[in-house]
Amino acid sequence: MSSKDERFMIKVVDMYYKDEMSQDAISKKLNISRATVSRTLSRAKKEGIVKIQINYPSENTIDLEKSIEKEFGLKEVLIAVETEGMNKDYAVSVQASEYLARILKNNMKLGINWGRSMKNLITTFEADGYNKSVNVKGVEVIPFLGTNNSFDEKSESLRLTYSNFLAIKMCQLINAKNYNLSAPMVVSNSKAKEVIMNEPDVKGVLEKAKTCDVAILGMGPIDKSGSLFILMEDGEEIADKLRQKNAVGEVIGRAYDKNGEPIHSELDERIIGVTLEELKEIPLKIGVAYGNHKVESIKAGLKGHLIDVLITDRETAEKLI
């Protein structure tokens, strides 16, 4: 390389890195094309004139996130790191709130699942002011599942975790349009489901849900103590039957096996909401899930490509690989 070429390269590097000028600004100042600026900066890296050093925080999880992304073909993995005075639930909901604020766009159709992780997300999204950083128009929020009334102590704790309630709350926070799925989440039998599913209001919302751009989901194990099975009078029996069919997890009330493949059962005949097949057609599916008891169900969901983005905690992430 001639001294003239070297001098030009150093000049471009100095303007870009030290003076923090944009490539467009450099091209105009030096009367060269933007492509020439880009090529010169790339060449400077190759020839060692520019060396990039990233000083990662000691608590960074970049390598672990990249490993999981590669292992399961995910678009992105975000691992929450607990700091002093922060519990795991809050750490994950902060990470999820940051991500949601980042990806919300005008005219987006956002589908929302139910559950405690979803409730924690929306509570933090409001309490920490993430909604104030978002300025979007024309967003629609659609619940993926219906809402059961709570008539006993066990299910009472779930009252504020239903899709309809969370969808309304999110709409209030970002000034979006809300749709209400006027139906129970779980009904007593397939005949009741058939009647309700043929109601125009119910059918219309579920058709709208299938067209969502983004889905926010929780994932859980097949466990009789899980929220879904607490809602059902015969929840323990249904959970036992699903495990006998090798079910390891559920999302939006739909069971799946260790490879993330749907397991059709009596549960499908009683859930009013979108199906796994319909869920898979949604372009961006965000899973917020963590905890030792969920590792198997999360891993199976990743294998089945039920989600595209995973938000979890470090302990769970380490066990996934």
Beta strand pairing status for 309-313 and 140-143?
unpaired
Q: What domains appear along the chain, each with residue ranges and CATH number?
A: 3-46 (1.10.10.60), 62-320 (3.40.50.1360)
The CA–CA distances, whole Å, from 2 to 48, 204, 285 equal 16, 70, 53
Residue 280 and residue 47 in contact, taking contact as beta carbons nearer than 8 Å: no
What pLDDT does residue 95 have? 94
- Dist. CA 291–CA 99, nearest whole Å: 20
CA dist 28 and 32 (Å) reads 7
Q: 197 with 272: CB under 8 angstroms?
A: yes
What integer pLDDT is reported at residue 272 of this predicted model?
Answer: 93
Q: What is the mean pLDDT of each run of 10 residues along the chain (321 residues)?
A: 73 89 91 91 88 64 91 94 83 94 95 92 93 93 86 64 91 94 90 93 95 94 81 84 93 94 90 93 96 94 96 94 87
**What confidence score (pLDDT) does residue 2 get?**
60
Predicted pLDDT of residue 138: 96
Q: Which CA distances in Å does 167 have to 111, 130, 158, 178, 268?
A: 8, 16, 15, 7, 23
Residue 54 has a pLDDT of 63
